[in-house]
Amino acid sequence: MINKELYRGKNILVLGLAKSGEAAALLLHELGANVVVNDALPYEENAQARALEAKGLKVVCGDHPLSLLDDGVELVVKNPGIPYHNDLVKEAMARSISVVTEVELTSHLSEAEIIAITGSNGKTTTTTLVFEMLKNSPKTPLIAGNIGTVSCEVVKEATNEDVMVLEASSFQLLGTEAFHPKVSVLLNLFDAHLDYHGTKEEYIRAKAKITANQTEQDQFIYNADDELVSKVASTTKAKTIPFSTKQVLLEGVYVKDNKIYFGKEEIVELADVVLPGAHNVENILAAVGAAMSMGASKQQIKEVLHTFSGVEHRLQFVTKIKDRLFYNDSKATNILAAKKALEAFDQPVILLAGGLDRGNEFDELASSLSNVKALVAFGETKEKLAATAKQSNVREVQFANRVEDAVELAYQLSNEGDVVLLSPACASWDQYKTFEERGNEFVTAVRALQL
């Protein structure tokens, strides 16, 4: 059982709802804390807040009054999406009140050891691989975090017979103080979420917090081919296990003679791995390192790699229609993710891209557009993407209002043997609440083509 006395009687403000805020508020309430929930959505429109109030929690909706901090608040649990320049957050920090995210609560409360996985790209795939690889191991894997069920829900059921496999974002990690995973994984570092973090240095600092509290008894799995990741590795106290697609690392995970090795032990032949895309080899190496560190069997790892073909919204194969292949990569919310998706295909590609304008240009995407025969752009960034495509000699560029319209246009532009790929290179929030909603619209529109 978790420590039920840790937060009893404490005055805690939960700032922002969505899934993580609601889960944190309910958990703290169950643990006997005096919880106040504050959310910007007005009370009349806020079904979550009304449901929490019905369960006995105090809710304040519509704005973020600073007076909420005047009643002896000892801790603020912030929804990860709320920026640190929020006035209430700044005031709490000015008063030396700790501001954390729900994964910090999880670290304090979990009886299960934690494997935490982060990086600019590949988190969901790697997290899912580790989860699958740990099945039939001495400890039962529980999956949590950005990938689905928030950790504050999972932690209530976790025991010391389990291991929590946690996908962690930079937003979540920035709000940690004592977060201490047994195994941490850092996949890669790329310019991302700079509208939130302000600078690349702050973004890297947030990611590096995944290993900040690890000790010599813990493991840190890292990408030895990424210079920035390697710099983070040089600061950890944990045992380091590097992985590489370019170097033979006898103390890590690597590729040699088209086989994957952990140390000197052969794990699997690359030809037998079904997960598509060269970029996924890095994710596989990281997953092997993490799973082996936590006691996964070689046989279970091989079985997963022989059968695992990907996760929803991440290079997800949807269907084949008149010899056109349709792939949903809605989780490609930045340029690097879209580049990796494009580089996974040799066939001609009709690319569907666009979304929230975070102020960046798309010049870095240009080198991966050589096999793109047409672009259908949508959202706030459509003009920027169109300019990059034209400079890269993409033959056909068209605009669509939404993803469902883009699918119809893409089908009209396609020929037999083409790939129709949704890989937006942008966040979804200009038109969709989540990348999942955007991806589901793509899948629905593709299915409609078959009717």
| 57: nearest Cα among 93, 18, 21, 108 | 21
Q: Where are the alpha helices (DSSP H) in 5-63?
A: 18-30, 47-54
Q: In what order do the strands lie in the sheet with 75-78?
A: 58-61, 34-39, 11-15, 75-78, 98-100
Annotated ligand binding at 120? The verdict is yes
Instruction: Give, in order, the Cα–Cα distances in Å from 344 to each of 60, 292, 327, 329, 423.
Output: 48, 27, 11, 12, 12
Q: What span, in angstroms and rounded, lies between the C-alpha atoms of 229 and 239?
A: 15
Q: What span, in angstroms and rounded, lies between the C-alpha atoms of 325 and 309?
A: 15
Annotated ligand binding at 283? The verdict is no
CB 438, CB 431: distance < 8 Å:
yes
Strand partners, 221: 185, 241
Annotated ligand binding at 123? The verdict is yes
- Give me the torsion for CA of 422, 428, 431, 432, rounded to 10°: 90
Annotated ligand binding at 10? The verdict is no
Annotated ligand binding at 122? The verdict is yes
Annotated ligand binding at 125? The verdict is yes
Q: What span, in angstroms and rounded, lies between the C-alpha atoms of 295 and 291?
A: 6
Annotated ligand binding at 62? The verdict is no
CB 287, CB 245: distance < 8 Å:
no
Strands 162-167 and 113-118: parallel
Q: What span, in angstroms and rounded, lies between the C-alpha atoms of 383 and 377?
A: 8
Cite the annotated binding site by residue number.
Answer: 119-125
Cite the annotated binding site for ATP by residue number.
Answer: 119-125
